[in-house]
Chain A
Amino acid sequence: MIDFLLGRLSTEYFPSDPVTIGAAVGMPLTVVGLVALITYLKRWKWLWNNWLTSLDAKKIGVMYVIVAIIMLVRGVADAGMLRLQTALAAGDATGPFSTDTFQQVFTAHGTIMIFFVAMGLMFGLINVVMPLMIGARDMAFPFLNSISLWLFVAGMILVNTSLVFGGFSNGGWLGYPPLTELQYNPGPGVDYWIWSLQIAGIGSLLSGINFAVTIIKHRAPGMTWFKMPIFPWSVLVTSVLIMLAFPILTVTLALLSLDRTMGMHFFTSDLGGNAMMYINLIWAWGHPEVYILVLPAFGIYSEVVATFAKKALFGYKTMVYALIAIMFLSFVVWQHHFFTMGAGANVNAFFGIMTMVIAIPTGVKIFNWLFTMYRGRIRFRAPMVWFLAFVVTFTIGGVTGVMMAVPALDFQVHNSMFLVAHFHNTIIGGVVFGFFAAMTYWFPKIFGFRLNDRLGRYSAIAWQIGFIVAFMPLYALGLMGAVRRIDSYSDPTWQPFFITSGIGVLIIALGIGLFMLQIIYSVWKRKELRDTTGDPWDGRTLEWSVPSPAPHYNFAVQPVVTHRDEWWHRKKTHYQAPHKSEYRDVWLPKNSAVGLLIGLMACGAGFGIIWHLWWLVGLLALGIIVIIIIRTTKDDTEYLLTAEELLKEDRRAKGMAV
């Protein structure tokens, strides 16, 4: 009976080494502190009504971004621990962390950075601006959108719970079996990894469907496919990739979990299991995943460059075709992640060539941005500085990527520090810089004031320098023979490189500090930085046509589009604001706590599976089904905003007399 109630919960799973204890005590204390602060400020009601239960895509987006930034701090702290260890543990010396801790830390770092930082920032930014850019009031399914958010948060909570209780997986961010099978990893760590990804991944899948339907069905009248800005285009392509790739992840994780909980033999080393099938499946998701992350960033750069060069984007149509080409190609390159598996020369040649081919549309895009800048009136504001840092960093990453696409060369650098440098080049330079550019660029649209530009530029420059110092030595180390994921090494000549790399992490941390400072300082100076026009950068697309902060109904009057850069065109042609008679009644989604509830229950169910509390899993699964049934059979989920109210609110937002 006790076994039934408690599953495999046991006090032995509390952490025992001092570093982890520190984190395990610190984290809950921070949460308790936050709760106390909110209570003290009497802000619960405000938080509940304005944020937690909101179905407004912009608010959902902001919540995604906040969670992702907190996770970024954790991810970078993890990276700092890894680099501290490798800076010290040369020759006979030992570093501060045990091998097992080190393995958990790099697994947590990779998992958190990809799923809870990069994906979180991406979903957040898409929610914040995509509907505005296509002239829509909201997402196609606002309620589904909140479920996605809360499933994402549920996964995040599970990852962090592992730190306090049970420990995380030591199997790397992709959890290769047979190491992650029960035989070698009987503890709960791998299960934490599986279920945090599984739950967040289902949220991602729902988001993909939601974004695609929104773009297909909610574009403003007149916005034909080739009048749609590039950012929504990139979101559409990313959504298609999500819908095609994420189900594979769902299946792969489910199979691994069945091996671990039901004693099946998909990937075990006995009774016919086939671990290489796991590697194939996970990369059939994993390679598209990297494009899922980077394409929206490409979309962001397209908007930023056009705005700050004050020119229409060069080669708009080739941009779209390049996106579509990448969408197809990204599904025929996955095997480049395991050229060394032994699939044979012909298979390797095929995937090697496809990998080189995919570099072509990517190169096209880089040149299009450069040509957009050519003869433009460029303003070097913070978003533009992020963009320039991207061009430099990402291009290096692209070049080393094509190098590794040559199977013969990849045999030398496979799973080495060279690879680690390569993918950070593309993912930090491509994805993270893009999302930082976006946060700076669209901040005023959501909060009504700009961010201090100078601190933004400093932050970008610190990231750029820190990046070079942290990762360029890794290329050299890789060529010298350093493999990835090592916590100590015997060759002392490597140490200077590792120390340099560690210093780079400090500079990157400075960059993050400057970014935080930028936000705090700008909040303090928000009066001076206020955006009264709604169009602080002299922008080109529809989101700049509404007041800042963007009102909850987005557009008081449904815009009709005639040009690709609609807002720019309007400014040039002395567009008249809509007349009173053009306002119409609109229906908006009511707040709902159901998404939040589903997220919490999913989190609890995940915890139940990890700890074998089957009664809890059963109860919560049943609860989720019942809640969904109740919600879907309920009809009055929207409220009416009448034309008169809308007119009043619109005039107030624009600072006119009501």
Chain B
Amino acid sequence: MRHETVDTLNRKADKAELGFWLYLMTDVIIFASLFATYLVLRNNTAGGPSAADLFEPRYAFVETLILLTSSFTCGIAAIAFKFGKKQLGLGLLMATIVLGTAFLTLELLEFGTLVREGHSWQASAFLSAFFTLVGTHGFHILIGLIWAAVTGGYIMSNGLTRNAVRKFTLFSLFWHFLDVVWIFLFTIVYLLGELS
């Protein structure tokens, strides 16, 4: 933005950040509604297997570790960019993408196993709710991965401009948010499922 003053640029970054926070709040409501649905339908297994029969908390724990690590690399990348260390930041962003992809792969593998064993989303209300809740999170991760790649490409071609840093800040907010959602998912679906 060739001629714009620092002042208007700051104002813009401010606005974008507030808008993005508000968007995240709406996403919180989306997940809250899905969690509520899951909790209501959790025991409606239609005579089929329940959460305790199907889920393996240790598997989900590995997924959790991977996602938490990716959040960590993403956080460090933000710091690196702030200090102008472009190469380091890009490397860490790459690591985030790899870890995120690994997470998504594990999730899809789990889905695949369930479906192959005859426990697809069509089997019961409980499984519909499970696939939808976890799938929605996974879909967000997919969007996040695309976004990360685009932001990385932008930084590579445009350098660490104010705009680039701003875009990255928004992405990292999103990524941390997905991490928090996953913690709830892990607790409510996998840990609580084991207890019931």
Contact = CB atoms under 8 A, between A and B. Distances in A.
Contacts of B128: 258-259, 264-266
A406 interface: no
A262 B122 contact: yes
A461 B85 CA distance: 70
Interface in B14-34: 14-15, 18-19, 22-23, 25-27, 29-30, 33-34
B19 A633 contact: no
* Chain A interface SS verdict (over half): helix
Contact of B46 (A205, A244, A255, A271): A271
A255 B8 contact: no
Contacts of B146: 625, 629
Interface stretch (A67-75, A273-281, A367-375, A487-495): A273-281
Contact of B124 (A247, A258, A271, A629): A271
Contact of B23 (A209, A259, A587, A638): A209
Contacts of A281: 33, 37
A173 interface: no
Contacts of A246: 26
B179 to A, nearest CB: 20
Given A271-B46, A274-B125, A247 B41 contact: no
A272 B22 contact: no
A170 B58 CA distance: 48
B123 A271 contact: yes
Nearest to A266: B128
Nearest to A638: B1
A266 B34 contact: no
Given A141-B19, A248-B29, A265 B132 contact: no
Interface string B116-144: 00000111111011011000000000000
Contacts of A264: 121-122, 125, 128, 131-132
A205 B19 CA distance: 12
Contacts of B18: 213, 216-217
Interface in A604-643: 625, 629, 632-633, 635-636, 638, 640
Contact of A266 (B1, B22, B125): B125
A212 interface: yes
A550 B29 CA distance: 38
Interface of B: 1, 3-4, 8, 11, 14-15, 18-19, 22-23, 25-27, 29-30, 33-34, 37, 40-41, 44-46, 121-126, 128-129, 131-132, 146, 150, 154, 163, 167
Given A140-B19, A272-B45, 16 more contacts: A209-B22, A209-B23, A217-B11, A243-B22, A243-B26, A244-B29, A251-B37, A255-B132, A258-B121, A270-B46, A272-B41, A277-B40, A277-B41, A587-B8, A635-B163, A640-B3
Query: What 8 A-B pairs come out closest when comparing CB atoms?
Result: A272-B44, A272-B125, A264-B128, A247-B29, A251-B33, A271-B46, A263-B122, A265-B125
Interface of A: 140-141, 205, 208-210, 212-213, 216-217, 243-244, 246-248, 250-252, 255, 258-259, 262-266, 268, 270-274, 277, 281, 587, 625, 629, 632-633, 635-636, 638, 640
